[in-house]
């Protein structure tokens, strides 16, 4: 699917650097608000130019010659645009100008690749994920500007040093919304997105060799924090007169008992509450991120929270809960955590981890069931949480050890009693 672009050609005159009442004629190419100028070979008196129709005034031989030339330029530029448009996913005014003067080689650039990717991936990527790609693309163009002193870069020039240089650039980057530099995994996420876009270029045969062939993405394994049952209970028991903190606490607890992410919680509507096969209330919806459908029965605390907000004045019509931004929600959550004496760096996404570990896996719910509820596309994603099973095994084995010790002690005591 191709995006439509607005293309136009106009002519104008410039009197700059001239003091003899003459002006040079220029052509202007505009595509989607971007523009570039071409200096043409004619200079005319200023008063000979008709600004309304962008042509030379009069019927003299010279005037007719110039106007015929302008029509030819307009036709040739339009033909250049059509030729480029027929084989490239993204066109810039600079590309049309280069093609007109025979200076282009028809090679696709990074900007064209970004446009192609964003257009053809929009239907399979969530809005948030597509936004992450656009951030990566913004950083790539900054890197190209700094490292290569240009606004764009040909795909055919991509090589291993380009990838290594981009990694170094990312590790020194200080994003506005960060307190410091990007973490290793943050940098690697951008590298992974670049790799996906480059793979797309390889599949489309825009480049012959993949520059990632000898590059290895190095992700650091991170332990996913979650709340213990006691910490979750402390938050559930937390009472406050501050309404914003009450709302945030309820939303967080709801997610802890359902595993539903922030964006999906905010999109829940009354239509998502259905009667399950067991005659109880279930939630049935799709994950915005993966488009996967998931269903789950509402257990006590989650159902109580839904009923609590049934007539809440801040709830939008049809929605289950009042809307609050993710940034504010996480900020207020830290206030709740402080009030409850919880020192962990609590975020709303931790509720999803808590559901996977403390609520389900550690209580014997099969990992396949948890994966289905969480809406994961791969079981391997859910297995990240399986470390909790090791803790459960450890607890069970300690209990077994205690039972065996007791039985052994009873056996020894019985033998000693029998010997008398």
Residue 382 resides in a domain:
yes
240: its two tokens = 């406050």
Looking at the structure, tell me whether residues 267 and 379 fall in a common domain.
yes
For residue 130, tell me if it sits in a domain.
yes
Say if residue 130 is in the same domain as residue 243.
no
208 in any annotated domain: no
Dihedral (CA of 404, 407, 413, 414) sign:
negative
| Domain-ending residue, one of 203, 219, 237 | 203
**Same domain? 296 vs 372:** yes
Low-confidence residues in the chain, pLDDT < 70: 1-4, 17-18, 103-106, 176-180, 223, 386-393, 395-396, 410-420
pLDDT digits (tens, 9 = 90+) for 132-141: 999 999 999 9
Closest to 221 in 3D by CA, of 367, 387, 81: 387
For residue 105, being part of any structural domain is answered with no
Measured CA to CA, the distance from residue 103 to residue 89 in angstroms comes to: 19
Place of tokens 């050609």: 9
- Pair (164, 286) in one structural domain: no
Number of domains in the chain: 3
Instruction: Quote the pLDDT of residue 174.
Output: 79
The answer to the question of residue 116 being in a domain is: yes
My answer on whether 256 and 319 are in the same domain is: yes
Instruction: Please report the pLDDT score of residue 179 as a whole number.
Output: 55
- Position 1 scores a pLDDT of 42
287 domain residue, yes or no:
yes
Note whether 135 and 188 are same-domain residues.
Answer: yes
Helix (H) or strand (E) holding 29: strand 22-31
**In contact, 74 and 28? CB cutoff 8 Å:** no
32 vs 96: CA distance, rounded Å = 13
Q: The domain containing residue 167 runs over which residues?
A: 110-203
Assigned domain for 306 exists:
yes
| β strands within 32-154, DSSP E | 34-45, 49-50, 55-56
Q: What is the pLDDT of residues 227-281, one digit of tens each?
A: 989 999 999 999 999 999 999 999 999 999 998 989 899 999 999 999 988 888 9
Asked if the structure places residue 400 within a domain, the reply is no
Q: Are residues 260 and 350 in the same domain?
A: yes
What CATH number does residue 370 fall under? 1.10.443.10
Q: Taking each helix axis from N to C terminus, what angle separates 110-121 and 127-148, rounded to the nearest 10 degrees?
A: 180
Give the separation between CA 263 and CA 289, rounded to whole angstroms.
9
Same domain, 384 and 240: yes
Long-range (24+ apart) CB contacts under 8 A made by 363-370 are 370/259
Examine the domain organization and report whether 263 and 385 are in the same domain.
Answer: yes
The residue from 100, 132, 151 where one domain ends is 100
């Amino acid at each position: 699917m191709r995006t439509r672009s607005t293309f136009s050609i106009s002519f104008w005159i410039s009197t700059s650097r001239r003091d003899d009442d003459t002006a040079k004629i220029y052509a202007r190419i505009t595509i989607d608000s971007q523009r570039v100028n071409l200096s043409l070979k004619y200079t005319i008196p200023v008063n000979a130019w008709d600004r309304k129709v962008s042509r030379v005034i009069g019927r003299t031989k010279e005037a007719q010659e110039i106007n015929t030339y302008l029509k030819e330029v307009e036709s040739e530029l339009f033909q250049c645009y059509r030729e480029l448009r027929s084989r490239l996913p993204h066109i810039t005014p600079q590309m049309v100008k280069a093609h007109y003067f025979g200076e282009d080689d028809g090679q696709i650039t990074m900007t064209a690749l970004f446009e192609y990717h964003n257009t053809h991936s929009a239907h399979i990527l969530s809005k948030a994920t597509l936004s992450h790609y656009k951030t990566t693309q913004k950083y790539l163009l900054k890197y190209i500007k700094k490292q290569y002193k240009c606004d764009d870069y040909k795909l055919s020039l991509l090589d291993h040093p380009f990838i290594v240089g981009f990694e170094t650039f990312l590790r020194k980057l200080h994003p506005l919304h960060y307190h410091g530099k990007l973490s290793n995994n943050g940098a690697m996420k951008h590298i992974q997105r670049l790799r996906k876009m480059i793979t797309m270029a390889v599949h489309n045969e825009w480049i012959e060799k993949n520059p990632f062939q000898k590059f290895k993405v190095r992700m650091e394994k991170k332990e996913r924090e979650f709340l213990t049952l006691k910490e979750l209970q402390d938050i559930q028991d937390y009472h406050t007169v501050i309404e914003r903190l009450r709302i945030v606490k309820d939303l967080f607890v709801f997610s802890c008992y359902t595993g539903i992410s922030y964006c999906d919680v905010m999109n829940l509507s009354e239509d998502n509450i259905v009667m399950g096969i067991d005659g109880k209330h279930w939630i049935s919806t799709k994950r915005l991120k993966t488009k996967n459908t998931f269903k789950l029965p509402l257990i006590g605390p989650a159902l109580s929270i839904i009923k609590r907000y049934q007539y809440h004045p801040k709830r939008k019509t049809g929605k289950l809960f009042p809307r609050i931004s993710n940034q504010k929600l996480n900020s207020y959550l830290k206030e709740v955590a402080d009030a409850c004496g919880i020192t962990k760096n609590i975020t709303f996404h931790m509720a999803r981890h808590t559901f996977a570990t403390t609520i389900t896996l550690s209580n014997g719910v099969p990992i396949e069931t948890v994966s289905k509820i969480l809406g994961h596309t791969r079981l391997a994603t859910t297995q990240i949480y399986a470390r909790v099973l090791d803790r459960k095994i450890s607890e069970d084995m300690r209990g077994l050890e205690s039972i065996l010790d007791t039985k052994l002690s009873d056996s020894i005591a019985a033998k000693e009693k029998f010997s008398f």
